[in-house]
Chains A and B, each alone.
Chain A
């Protein structure tokens, strides 16, 4: 091989090579969410297997789940995905005030969802140990609820960090990751809502 070719190639490559830390973090975070997806897929598969094996598997005395309030909750949660997206865009424009406003709205919508779910739980006539259905219902909604809570805490964190001067001048990894996590939580909920509330 001609050494001048190698020299040119290596020159070009070495200039190209700077460790992209933000890129690595985001890539790692997406890989993490992929593995999270597989946990949920495991639970969803279990739900489908149990449900198809037992067509009338609701606990005795339970004719079906109330759909209206969870549906409203769903609309609120899914809409918050758009709100956090608008917050991200505001940050990209360096408009911190709008960023904070949208973020607060998103936090409020997430909290509304969680409170709504807690109220729903308190009215249900079956418990965690009421057969396989009860177990799956609380496991799925509870595990997802934990993710919503994590998402809200992450949003509070990035909201707080926006008050540290210069914090979001160079990179937005924390905000972008929180936003992706929030979208992830929403998508999971849509599947969960269809499985539990629509497919009764």
Chain B
């Protein structure tokens, strides 16, 4: 029996033919890699749809008057933009990467329940088509914002049973059921399918973070579902759970909503933290600093995420003691998060840094995340939140999280694992152009929202006072730049998938089981299940990672 060292797995391997033809990506495949790419591509298409809505919003806001679209269309635009970007882009793309990578990273041949996995994926396009169909019902799509607060969401001026809000609830419910199926599958896969020797503390941080995020899905999503069912009953059969006019309690809906939807931020961002933890050691050629504490901090974030939701309700009549408690718990999230930022900084520190596109995106996303984290802490503080609540300050903060960190982080992941997924290298020049356009666009678009919010400009308005015009023009220019930044990305992905240079199995000289197999990996991943005898991130240590049978 021989051992394979880190040096051994960094060499190029004989190329393998791609395992599937393109038609398979349109089929009910149970291969986790096909499903992963199905998720990623579907998510990106929905990202473009959500992006078009964003362009309309920024087009409307470039002038103080409401002149591009009428107000009901504008309301529908920000509602659908938020909904599509969250339920159509961030969740599915992260599920896509988790699907593709987790079995490979833990040395499994597939997910625990491959058919359930395929069913979960196909619910996403169904939900998306349903959501888009709401443009064609009387009254148009939902206009109550992505949080659907009653009593606004209970208004049904057309009087039709089939209305935008009902369709919205059904689409979100379908995507929620899909996510619960996914969560059951991921948690079971990580617990039950790890290769021999792959102890919990030998798992890559990406797997740790997917695992932690899916635990949040398991306890959070059902609670949102309970609230959504009650809202749907209010809308369709005339119950009065959340209707204040009939004795209901609309604030209770806010609790249901945020009990899940705040932790959902961690569901989205934890896998991105996992991506950072994979990329920084590779491009700094150093082991991840403080592996165990970084792993544990993910679980800690998942745990604390369940007791922070009331910071969204500081101005909803929440009693003082409750505001104090939730202010402290919210602030506490910055501790495990800060540990991660410290660990990444220490990993980069003194490393031999290479700024290929994945590293550029990861590094840029980290910088933007630090800024988002600082504004996040300010928002957790009751006095500041009371001042800027429902203003553009909040919008600026969460866009630094959701675009600056999550979306940029996902682009880092796409570039990093593109050679593994397609067997081709992407074009570096186009990748860098994409990064700089996106990085500059993000800051131009979302930074001005902070001064706007501090000055008092409310969110969700289609017209505003002329003194807000300057920052809005800058923000709109940034928004359009972000729109343009997507073009080199699309060109790059399509062009290199067809004509790109053949990728070796391990172009980045990375450590991890997914880099042991050919690019793209064969159908069942591993000819023989590897036996793991070393720890991840052993850069420069020359430790054996796996033993050969």
Contact = CB atoms under 8 A, between A and B. Distances in A.
Interface in B344-403: none
B544 A6 contact: yes
Given A3-B3, A14-B549, A35-B180, A129 B223 contact: no
Contacts of A6: 1, 3, 533, 544, 547
Given A49-B252, A132-B240, A28 B1 contact: no
B543 A46 contact: no
Nearest to A54: B247
Interface stretch (B136-144, B191-199, B442-450): B191-199
B237 A129 contact: yes
Contacts of B227: 42
A160 B274 CA distance: 47
A37 B225 CA distance: 12
Contacts of B219: 34-35, 38
A7 B324 CA distance: 56
Interface stretch (A19-27, A65-73, A102-110, A172-180): A19-27
B529 A129 contact: no
Contact of B241 (A7, A25, A54, A132): A132
B547 A10 contact: yes
Nearest to A39: B222
A9 B187 contact: no
Given A10-B549, A132-B247, A20 B192 contact: yes
Nearest to A29: B184
A16 B196 contact: yes
A43 B549 CA distance: 53
Nearest to A4: B1
A82 interface: no
B25 to A, nearest CB: 26
B188 interface: yes
B191 A35 contact: no
Given A1-B544, A24-B112, A28-B112, A38 B197 contact: no
Given A128-B239, A132-B247, A24 B192 contact: yes
A27 B533 CA distance: 26
Contacts of A31: 183-184, 187-188, 218
A32 B184 contact: yes
B90 interface: no
Contacts, number: 131
Interface string B455-493: 000000000000000000000000000000000000000
Contacts of B221: 35, 38
Interface residues of B, number: 47
A45 B37 CA distance: 39
Contacts of A35: 180, 183-184, 218-219, 221-222
Contacts of B229: 139
Interface in B164-223: 180, 183-185, 187-188, 191-193, 195-197, 218-223
Contacts of B126: none
Contacts of B226: 39, 42-43, 46
B240 A129 contact: yes
Contacts of B180: 32, 35
B146 interface: no
A132 B183 CA distance: 33
B232 to A, nearest CB: 11
Given A7-B547, A10-B531, A27 B188 contact: yes
A62 to B, nearest CB: 15
A17 interface: yes
A49 B227 CA distance: 13
Contact of A131 (B222, B225, B246): B246
B145 interface: no
B240 A38 contact: no
Interface in A75-115: none
A132 B249 CA distance: 9
Given A42-B222, A42-B256, A14 B196 contact: yes
A41 interface: yes
B1 A7 contact: yes
Nearest to B214: A31
B252 A46 contact: yes
Contacts of B238: 129
A31 B112 CA distance: 13
B197 A13 contact: yes
B113 interface: yes
Contacts of B112: 24, 28
Contacts of A1: 533, 543-544
B233 interface: yes
A36 interface: yes
A163 interface: no
Contacts of B547: 6-7, 9-10
A27 B221 CA distance: 19
B230 interface: yes
B248 interface: yes
Interface string B113-124: 100000000000
Interface string A44-60: 00100110011000000
A13 B230 contact: no
A131 B222 CA distance: 24
Nearest to A134: B239
Interface string B521-549: 00000000101010000000001100101
Nearest to A135: B239
Nearest to B228: A42
Contacts of B196: 10, 13-14, 16-17
8 contacts: A10-B531, A19-B192, A20-B192, A28-B187, A35-B180, A35-B219, A38-B223, A135-B233
Given A3-B3, A16-B196, 20 more contacts: A7-B1, A9-B547, A10-B197, A10-B549, A17-B196, A19-B192, A24-B113, A24-B192, A32-B184, A35-B180, A38-B218, A38-B219, A41-B223, A42-B226, A46-B226, A46-B230, A49-B252, A128-B233, A132-B241, A136-B241
Interface of B: 1-3, 112-113, 180, 183-185, 187-188, 191-193, 195-197, 218-223, 225-227, 229-230, 233, 237-241, 246-249, 252, 256, 529, 531, 533, 543-544, 547, 549
The 10 closest A-B pairs by CB, nearest first: A42-B226, A13-B196, A38-B222, A10-B547, A135-B239, A10-B531, A17-B196, A39-B222, A28-B188, A42-B223
Interface of A: 1, 3, 6-7, 9-11, 13-14, 16-17, 19-20, 23-25, 27-28, 31-32, 34-39, 41-43, 46, 49-50, 53-54, 128-129, 131-132, 134-136, 139
